[in-house]
Amino acid sequence: MPTLDRLGNYYVTHALCECDVIEDSEASPAWSMGPGSCEDHGPVEQGGREFLISTYSNLYNDANKEVQCGKDTLWAWCYGAPCVVDDEDPSKALCNCPLVQSAANLLVSACSDSGYCGQIWSAAVPPGDCFANCRYYEWMTGKGYPTNPPANLCSTGEPLCACPKPPMSGS
């Protein structure tokens, strides 16, 4: 959405991002975490459209890697962003994500493309990315649910961060 600065120039403050909609089912649980209560994340019908809030999960960590981008990176903060489910493809949603300029971690499918940091992607600040990855992994494994650990970094092949050993289920 364009906004006017103090000189009357337009600038963009949000990106329209396409995100995956993962349906929860007994056969294929779709666990995620986000701001607010779990009830706040669920789909809401309004005016014939389905709306939801963008959340986080480690679902794609097994097949993807993390790229660390510098402090001048322009990225989309989709965590907690409002989304509308695509009527034509309900496996996708369009999310209105605020733009941020800072260091960022991106989850990418291939490490060979060094141009990722010059494009706008949904990302996270590095400390928040590590915290979310570890907290999610710890909670899921502590409850006995299958999940992926933090993704490996493209630069080193090592995990994004070392998470504390999760407690045993039921303790």
Q: CA-to-CA distance for 32 and 88, rounded, in angstroms? A: 24
Domain boundaries, the chain: 2-153
What pLDDT, in 10s, does the model give residues 7-41?
777 778 899 999 999 887 777 777 888 888 777 77
Is residue 115 predicted with pLDDT exceeding 90?
A: no
Q: With cut-offs at 50, 70 and 90, classify the pLDDT of residue 90.
A: very high
Q: CA-to-CA distance for 29 and 128, rounded, in angstroms? A: 24
Residues in the chain: 171
Query: Which of 135, 67, 81, 98 has its CA nearest to residue 3?
Result: 98
Dihedral angle at the C-alpha atoms of 102, 108, 110, 112, nearest 10 degrees? -10
Query: Which of 153, 144, 99 has its CA nearest to residue 126?
Result: 153
